[in-house]
Amino acid sequence: MPYFKKYKVTIVGFDGALASAITGAMDIFSFAGVSWQRFNHLPPEPRFTVSLASLNQRPVECINRLTLNAHQAIEDINSTDILLIPTIGGSIHKVLEQNQALLPHLVRISQSGCDVLGNCSGAFLLAKAGLLNDRTATTHWGYASLFANMFSDVNLDIKQMITQSDNVYCAGGGVAFHNLCLLLIERYCGREVANQVAKAHVIDTHRTNQSAFTNIRQLKQHQQPQIVKVQEFIEDNYQLPLKVSELAKMVHVTSRTLNRQFQQWVNMRPIEYIQTIRVEQAKRLLEGGHKHIQSLALEVGYEDAASFAKLFKKTTGYTPAQYKIKFHRDFDF
């Protein structure tokens, strides 16, 4: 039987964490080299040892009131291969305030050379510890504005499902840890093992960004009246051939100024906002069962269906047909 080195995964536990992000990650890493082998009548070959560590090895009371017993005190950990900070399920500010004592340990352990993973809102703890300064990171799209306001030294790329800067990884959505864990399993054990885990756990491995889940209202929280006026005009007239020069005239500024202001307050140029609105409308139509790509493109303002399909794939990570299959529903709200 071949010898496989077992890598150590340490998951950081704290009160208010999302239980599924802890137990789910534990399951995925623990069953790497096990589930696939069992299904195929092969001897198990566990590839990771996984432990939950908390301050003073205290039990962790998750946001759903599930209590998890820690295996180790984080104060006793000097090294690990992977350090995973799970999703914050409770109040961001409350959890950050109550876990100040965790932060030096995150920094200390990260300096041992391990890979550091922040899932969803767990990125707030990494940022608070200074581990995301001058690095690219992501978090859940619903926390984008809060994160950007709190941590201006972090390059927040909310469109990405997973980011990597040096040895620090972040994942966007609450259950994006699936994809994050698979990425690290591939890094340590190879693509074949990662594919085995994905198949055994029936995990979608093709999702690369969060755009299919973004609520467009998050882009209007800046409350700058001129910019809101242009945004609302775009939202009401997205199917028309819109020009930035004409949008700029609406609010009595130059095209250059409008581009700069949009970049400052919306984090994208006006043309990108037009594209975003059009894609959002296309997603809604596909969710409702829209069938033909040519008419769909025309309905959201594109005469060239091929160009629209390319933009849609770049923005959401899916072709229009793939998106419809994945998100189509037989009812509307």
Q: In the chain, where are the structural domains located?
A: 7-211, 215-327
Pull the structure tokens for residue 182: 């698979």
Top pLDDT among 211 and 158 is at 158
- The average confidence (pLDDT) of the chain is 90
Using an 8 Å Cβ cutoff, are 135 and 165 in contact? Answer: yes
Looking at domain 215-327, its CATH architecture is Orthogonal Bundle (1.10)
Superfamily for domain range 7-211? Class I glutamine amidotransferase (GATase) domain (3.40.50.880)
The neighbouring-strand residues paired with 68 are: 60
User: Could you read off the pLDDT of 48-72 as tens digits, one per residue?
Assistant: 999 999 999 999 999 999 999 999 9
Mean of the pLDDT values across residues 170-185? Answer: 86
Phi-psi region of 92 (alpha: psi -120 to 50; beta: other; left: phi over 0): alpha
Residue 78 pLDDT > 80, yes or no? Answer: yes
pTM listed for this prediction: 0.74
Residue 331 pLDDT > 60, yes or no? Answer: no
pLDDT of residue 290: 73
Q: From residue 192, give the alpha-carbon distance in Å to each of 3, 63, 242.
A: 17, 35, 48
pLDDT of residue 60: 97
Using an 8 Å Cβ cutoff, are 272 and 234 in contact? Answer: no
The neighbouring-strand residues paired with 14 are: none
Q: How confident is the model at residue 326 (pLDDT cuts 50, 70, 90)?
A: confident
Amino acid at 134: D
Top pLDDT among 325 and 14 is at 14
| Same-fold call for 7-211 versus 215-327 | no
Mean of the pLDDT values across residues 295-315? Answer: 92
- The percentage of residues in the chain with a pLDDT greater than 70, rounded to a whole number, is 93
User: Could you read off the pLDDT of 230-286 as tens digits, one per residue?
Assistant: 999 999 899 999 999 999 999 999 999 999 999 999 989 999 999 999 998 998 888
CA–CA dist 243, 234 (Å, integer) = 10
CA–CA dist 246, 237 (Å, integer) = 13
Three-class SS state of 136? strand
**Bridge pairing between strands 7-12 and 82-85:** parallel
Q: How confident is the model at residue 93 (pLDDT cuts 50, 70, 90)?
A: very high
Lowest mean pLDDT among 19-33, 68-82, 166-180: 166-180
User: Could you read off the pLDDT of 188-223 as tens digits, one per residue?
Assistant: 988 788 888 888 888 876 666 777 666 676 677 777
Three-class SS state of 169? strand
Using an 8 Å Cβ cutoff, are 271 and 244 in contact? Answer: yes
CA–CA dist 246, 234 (Å, integer) = 11
